[in-house]
Structure 1
Amino acid sequence: MRSHLLNDLTAEHYRRSVTEGVERVAARLAATDRPFTGVTVDALAPRIEGIDLDRPLHDSTAALDELEELYLRDAVYFHHPRYLAHLNCPVVIPAVLGEAVLSAVNSSLDTWDQSAGGTLIERRLIDWTAGRIGFGPAADGVFTSGGSQSNLQALLLAREEAKPGRAGWNAPDISDTLGKLRIFASEAGHFSVQKSAGLLGLGPDAVVSVPVGADKRMQTVALAHELERCVAEGLVPMAVVATAGTTDFGSIDPLPEIAELCARHDTWLHVDAAYGCGLLVSPARRRLLDGIERADSVTVDYHKSFFQPVSSSAVLVRDASTLRHATYHADYLNPRRMVTERIPNQVDKSLQTTRRFDALKLWMTLRVMGAAGVGSLFDEVCDLARQGWDLLAADLRFDVVVEPQLSTLVFRYIPAAVTDPAGIDRANLYARKALFASGDAVVAGTKVAGRHYLKFTLLNPETTLDDIAAVLDLIAGHAEQYLGESLDRAS
């Protein structure tokens, strides 16, 4: 069994095995003519459940043959131009090359003595991103598993920073004190804010939902009112979470105005730019993030709009000292003496201990393509969304919700002969499911004002306006089929 360990004696075995795997994937990518096969859970689950994991195949070629049937054939392929559903991007080749390298070397980015150059590369990328945000030299951050973890860590820091000097923090019942903290977030913001509040022991009432306008951006007048009400009731405004690219609408909250309100109330400002971080390298749209430099913390998901493989994310802070709230020292790993010895241990600022060298993917991307190369790809999908908006707005079959700031379109089919909102909901739900089952395209769904809508999340520069038009026709066709069958059943 030692022949399967990667080392100096098995380098040739490694080369052959990985090459064969790469060739399989390349062949599958080249042959893919639709984003999904339409396989059902009932069809696929028995095949996977039938595998006896206690009886190995003892051969990588046989294992790849099996994997072809269990996974590669029926995978959902994000690189296909008619995958239009979630915030999943096609990935750039330099990043995939970085993934191959980091998986083989298997550095762990918690301490210097496990990663050396990897530690410094990650730190350099954090500094680079902080500079793109507009933070000063006191900034810092760390790579994370994704936006949810980044948001959690940011709100942990905000909770701890809310303690000093606040009335009530010396109360004997700490749970009562935590119950006074409030987080303000857009009603269109990410659910991880509510989840984080629960994990931080703040209770279900801790998150105050701030209304959005017709443009799906946080209403600053409403935020100002909620902050004032919070203080008047003896509560503590712990943090405001502004969103730079909401998941459903791609909307960007008015960051300069929100920053001003946070400064007035001495409240932590966190900007969730998991989606909109691509604007940091956009040659044409960077102005949309004006005000982000005033944040106390920022979430970025490179695995969304930087075209990186999952996972590649980071949380950044304007003041590096706030990361101390995530610091714990273990004698076996990162004893306190290492700080005075100036040994850089990334675990000192991370919620994770063992952590992949995900920063290498972004490093390889920037070294091969450059920041402007990545940003131009993101600009392309934003341009496409604008064209898609024009197409939808001119098509009487569809109702489209809001003009895109980024690359998301939310809309629904409106049958000419149907006025019942519930019937329209059912037609759109059916159309989405039927489209997925066909495998011809994949679109997402959401709710707007309680009604069912469909969603295009455009992150593939290879997608064209013709693709969008074709998928709209498919949606309309499935919806009309459902309505026709409903009428037949009713008669």
Structure 2
Amino acid sequence: MSTTAFAGWEQPLQDIVLPVKETYKDIFHQGSAAEYENAINGARELVTNFLHRNRQPFSGVSSTALRAAFAAVDFDTPLPDYESLLQEVQELYVKHATAFHLPAYIAHLNCPVVIPAVAAEVLIAAINSSQDTWDQSAGGTLMEQQLISWTAREIGFGTVADGVFTAGGSQSNLMGLLLARDHYAITNGGHNIKKQGLPGDASRYRIFISEKAHFSNHKGAALLGLGEQALVEIKTDARFRMDAELLEEAIAREIQQGNIPIAVVATAGTTDFGNLDPLADIGRIAAKYNLWYHIDAAYGCGLLLTEKYRHLLNGMETAHSVTIDYHKSFFQPISSSAFIVKDKQYLRLLRMHVDYLNPKDEDYDDLNQINKSIMQSTRRFDALKLWFTLRLMGKQKLGAYTETIIETAEKAAEVIGLDPELELLSYSDIGVILFRYAPEQYNPADLDALNQYIKKTMFNTGLVLVASTRVNGNFYLKFTMLNPLTTLDDVHFILNTIKETGAAWRQ
């Protein structure tokens, strides 16, 4: 008699496979195993073909052509079978999807993903647990909490640390600012913002960030009712890291002007430069002035995985809260992020009980994760992806990938710096390189238009995808290196493509 393959689950298959009514064959339940297998096999084949057939990161399709193809879609007329559906999705989506796993994709903070995490996605979607309360995801809750505890230990926090998985770094940064605001109000006058709204002096609250900090700080300050005027941007040094001396001067100046410093946000891995603010120095200043210290390590969190470069995060352990993006630097599928606090008591500022979800008499020994989240009740079991990854691959292998990326980026920057046709702007702590094509024969006033042409032309062919940004008003091309498969040969290919494309400008 055939049985399932897992120990402890020996019920005969013939007893658990039920006949399915044709009407309900599309619903995931006991009787739809054959339908499920058919659908999953079709999707698997689509993914396998995506891997085998893609040779460049983008098809180069124009928005006009793709919109025209979408115009024929009629949602009122269902397709007859999975074959038709998958063919449609192939033509409208997969064929033109950006292939982040290819070395010629070197644009944004999109990492290639590891296979264990992809396998976990199958379970996440099918079982469909919700991580808000214990009674909806018992084992999932404990898996998430154990991964949060592991991450907190890697940061350097103690046993009273806690946190929660989030939708992304922007949400985690918002949570950091929210706790900074509410913690200040309740510990300096007992004002409960959750119950009473903003206090009268909230317009004088000040939060200090680097001028190169992520834009989510500005959006967060606006959403929290403090406005962007609450943010004090601190100038950076030659490597685009927050200047700690200027930070302390700014804090003193705001106090002298009658304003109320409440928090400092440091960045461990800036989006535009891949550099880390001086975390330990900033932590000492935050402690001196009794300010909430939040670190946005959405990008730089990958350094936790490596002994060789872990020292770049020294000082992270002094923070009150930290943003982690596993889907940037732990090779996880989107989304997989976390917000970690040094002391779980801080999260009580977020707690709210309702009888239909997490009543006080069913708190399950603090196992309801919704008590730690903001505006996110139904929530995917994204932690399972990281569980699969760490349990099968281990921290050391992931760390080796991170080390490879950093070392390839260092060599790439050296190549760019030695090329007379290229102008390197800055070296990176992790893997972001800013430069531009700048041959001597071109007028400096034309360099912006020249490099914009290069980026647009390469995107339209789909052969190479790079990012861009502006620094001090000038337009630069940007490499964001997050792929351990990218070699120096790949870098040379990309740079040669850039130069060949640029040489054709105005011809």
| Cα distance in 2 between the residues matched to 1:377 and 1:428 | 31
State the secondary structure of the residue aligned to 1:250. coil
1:7 deviates by 0.8
Distance 2:81 2:200 in 1: 60
1:338 aligns with: 362
Q: Which aligned pairs between 1:206-285 and structure 2 lie closer than 5 A?
A: 206-285=230-309
Aligned equivalent of 1:420 = 444
* Pairs within 5 Å for 1:91-106: 91-106=113-128
- The DSSP-based 3-state class of the residue aligned with 1:163 is helix
1:51 maps to which of 65, 73, 91: 73
2:179 is equivalent to residue 179 of structure 1: no
Note the C-alpha offset of 1:173.
9.6
Task: Find the counterpart in structure 1 of residue 26 from structure 2.
Answer: 4
CA contact (8 A) 2:185 2:192 kept: no
Q: 1:292 and 1:331 mapped to 2: Cα distance? A: 38
Q: What TM-score, normalized by structure 1, do the two folds share?
A: 0.96
Cα distance in 2 between the residues matched to 1:30 and 1:206: 51
**Residue aligned with 1:415, SS:** coil
1:443 aligned residue: 466
Aligned-pair CA distance for 1:165: 4.7
Task: Give distance in 1, aligned partners of 2:67 and 2:134.
Answer: 43
Q: Which residue does the alignment assign to 2:6?
A: none
For residue 489 of structure 1, what is the aligned residue in structure 2? Answer: none
Query: Counterparts of 1:334-483 in structure 2 under 5 Å?
Result: 334-339=358-363, 341-342=364-365, 344-351=367-374, 352-421=376-445, 423-482=446-505
Q: What does 1:56-95 correspond to in 2, within 5 Å?
A: 56-95=78-117
SS in 2 for 1:164: helix
TM-aligned CA distance change 1:368 to 1:174, over 3 Å: closer
**Mapped partners of 1:338, 1:298: distance in 2:** 29
Contact 1:39 1:437 in 2 (8 A): yes
2:147 aligns with 125
1:155-178 Cα deviation digits (max 9, x unpaired): 100100111353796999946422
CA distance in 1, matches of 2:502, 2:209: 35
Report 1:24-39 matches (<5 A): 24-39=46-61
What is the aligned partner in structure 2 of residue 321 from structure 1? Answer: 345
**Aligned sequence identity (%):** 46
Q: Contact 1:278–1:305 (CA<8 Å) still a contact in 2?
A: yes
CA distance in 2, matches of 1:170, 1:53: 49
Q: Which residue of 2 aligns with 1:488?
A: none
Structure 2: how far apart are the matches of 1:474 and 1:165?
A: 57
RMSD of the alignment, in Å? 1.6
- Structure 2: how far apart are the matches of 1:470 and 1:33? 14
One-letter amino acid matched to 1:390: E
**Partners of 1:112 and 1:343 within 8 A in 2:** no
**Secondary structure of residue in 1 paired with 2:93:** helix
Q: State the shift of 1:231 in Å.
A: 1.3
- Tell whether the 8 Å contact from 1:168 to 1:177 is kept in structure 2 after alignment: no
Amino acid at match of 1:123: Q
Structure 2 matches for 1:123-202, cutoff 5 A? 123-166=145-188, 174=198, 176-202=200-226
Partners of 2:291 and 2:164 in 1: CA distance: 22
The amino acid that maps onto 1:386 is: E
CA distance in 2, matches of 1:173, 1:361: 38
Q: Distance in 1 between matches of 2:478 and 2:161?
A: 36
Q: Describe the shift of the 1:412–1:257 C-alpha distance in structure 2 as closer, same or farther (beyond 3 A).
A: same
Do the aligned partners of 1:182 and 1:239 also contact (CA within 8 Å) in 2?
A: yes
- Alpha-carbon distance, 1:235 to partner: 1.4
Q: CA deviation at 1:382?
A: 0.7
For 2:240, the aligned partner's letter is K
Q: Distance in 2 between matches of 1:173 and 1:271?
A: 26
Does structure 1 retain, via aligned residues, the 8 Å contact 2:295–2:323? yes
SS of aligned partner of 2:479: strand
Distance 1:173 1:440, change over 3 A: closer
Instruction: Please give the alpha-carbon distance, in whole angstroms, between the structure 1 residues aligned to 2:290 and 2:139.
Output: 39
Query: For 1:400, what is the secondary structure of its paired residue?
Result: strand
Q: How far apart are 1:479 and its partner, in Å?
A: 1.8
Rounded Cα–Cα distance in structure 2 between residues aligned with 1:8 and 1:354: 24
User: 2:186, 2:50 → 1: CA distance?
Assistant: 57
User: Secondary structure of 1:80's partner?
Assistant: coil
Distance 1:130 1:170 in 2: 28
Mark the runs of 5 or more structure 1 residues left unpaired by the alignment. Answer: 486-491
